[in-house]
Amino acid sequence: MSKRDYYEVLGVERGSSVDEIEKAYRKLARQHHPDRNIGEAEAEIKFKEVTEAHEVLINIEKRERYDRYGHAGLDPNDTGFGPSGSNFSDIVSDLFSAFMGGGGQSRRRGGGGPKRGNDRRQILDLQLHEVITDLRKEITVNRLEACTECSGKGTKTGKRMTCVQCQGRGEFIQRQGFFELRQACPRCQGEGTVNADPCAKCRGDGRVESPQKVEVRVPAGADTGLRLVMPGEGDAGQPGGERGDLELVVRLAEHADFQRDGVHLKTETVISFSQAALGVTIDIPTLTGKAKLTIQPGTQSHSELRVPGEGMPELRVDRRGQPISGTRRGDLRVLVIVETPQKLTERQEELLRELAGFENKEVSSPRKSFLNKLKGWFSTADERTR
């Protein structure tokens, strides 16, 4: 469809003054105003045409360009609207779409058509021991389900009446200069009519909130913050619409004995100072049972020892971006704390005093150990430079 000449649209001469253009525009705008011509598509088109012609002809710069080059002079690239190559009507229809929530042409179908259910998001509370292997767990999700009373239709009789808010037009039109912004009526959602006999149970929505059991699969190694998306496990849609998704966000509970550090687990164990001095093999609890931990003679307090493979399974992402558990496991890192005895029997004290007699000669003064450390630093530095 070729565009009509702007002067012709407004019915004015080419040399008309701004006043004359304004006067002609006001008259035509009143005549074709959509509020006066409800449901008349032609009036709507006329009104848009008139508005567009007016916008150009009252703007000195645009009018000059139009006079020289015609419609081509008002290329959207020059006016700064939209991406290059699009024309005015594209921009307008884009705006329509944006305001109509997509698909400006389909607005008459708007509210009555299938509507996708909302996504639901929920925290998934788990214990550390639950995620040591792949987990299947039944949880309860509160979500909208199709109303059983009206089979999801929102009404038993299907009676409808004209929407009072938009008086059956289904939309509101806002004008901003060039543009007419159409907004679907929020009450009838563009339908023009509303449910005249809403179902008592769902109040016409067709859906009611109810708790549902859902089985979730959690990959081993899941950590706090991991998102698990379950397609189609969110709210039911409205007639014919698909269900929303369920997004679960993992939250791991603190464990009394183990602290998680990525794939590793941290724990503490207390040994006596004779065990530390002489060395010992002890049983240490793990998340799944126990493991042997060998403490070498001369172990210092607050040393960290590792039990390989007793940490958490690593978590990977498959080709589709879904989290899956890997084959490797982290370590159990044990902080060894050497306990100094507080209550001694007479015999123990005697032995310790005897030991102390030896220690006086053996024990290194802090100063001596500092000097040794220095020596150590220099010798390693020497090795590096050599």
- Please tell me the total number of residues recorded for the chain in this structure: 386
Is 201 near Zn ion (CB under 5 A)?
A: yes
- Only one of the segments 87-95, 128-136, 157-165, 362-370 lies at the binding site for Zn ion (rule: CB under 5 A); that segment is 157-165
Is 166 near Zn ion (CB under 5 A)?
A: yes
Is 149 near Zn ion (CB under 5 A)?
A: yes
SS3 at position 125 = strand
Is 108 near Zn ion (CB under 5 A)?
A: no
The minimum distance between CB 204 and Zn ion, in angstroms, equals: 7
- Is residue 100 within a helix (H) or strand (E), and if so which, with residue range? helix 88-100
Decide: 151 and 141 in contact? Cβ < 8 Å. Answer: no
The minimum distance between CB 44 and Zn ion, in angstroms, equals: 18
- Only one of the segments 50-58, 166-174, 276-284, 295-303 lies at the binding site for Zn ion (rule: CB under 5 A); that segment is 166-174
Residues within window 34-63 making contact with Zn ion, judged by CB under 5 A: none
Which of 226, 305, 221, 224 has its CA nearest to residue 263?
221
DSSP 155: B
- Only one of the segments 172-180, 192-200, 270-278, 293-301 lies at the binding site for Zn ion (rule: CB under 5 A); that segment is 192-200
d(CA 147, CA 283): 58
Is 197 near Zn ion (CB under 5 A)?
A: no
Alpha helices in the chain (DSSP H): 6-10, 18-32, 41-57, 60-69, 76-79, 88-100, 273-278, 346-362, 366-385
d(CA 293, CA 304): 11
Is 185 near Zn ion (CB under 5 A)?
A: yes
Among 71, 108, 160, 187, binds Zn ion (CB under 5 A): 187
DSSP letters for 131-153: GGS-EEEEEEEEEEEE-TTTTTS
The minimum distance between CB 157 and Zn ion, in angstroms, equals: 12
Among 147, 250, 295, 307, binds Zn ion (CB under 5 A): 147
- Only one of the segments 58-66, 79-87, 144-152, 364-372 lies at the binding site for Zn ion (rule: CB under 5 A); that segment is 144-152
- Only one of the segments 118-126, 128-136, 185-193, 212-220 lies at the binding site for Zn ion (rule: CB under 5 A); that segment is 185-193
Decide: 247 and 240 in contact? Cβ < 8 Å. Answer: no
Q: Which residues bind Zn ion (CB under 5 A)?
A: 147, 149-150, 163, 165-166, 185, 187-188, 199, 201-202
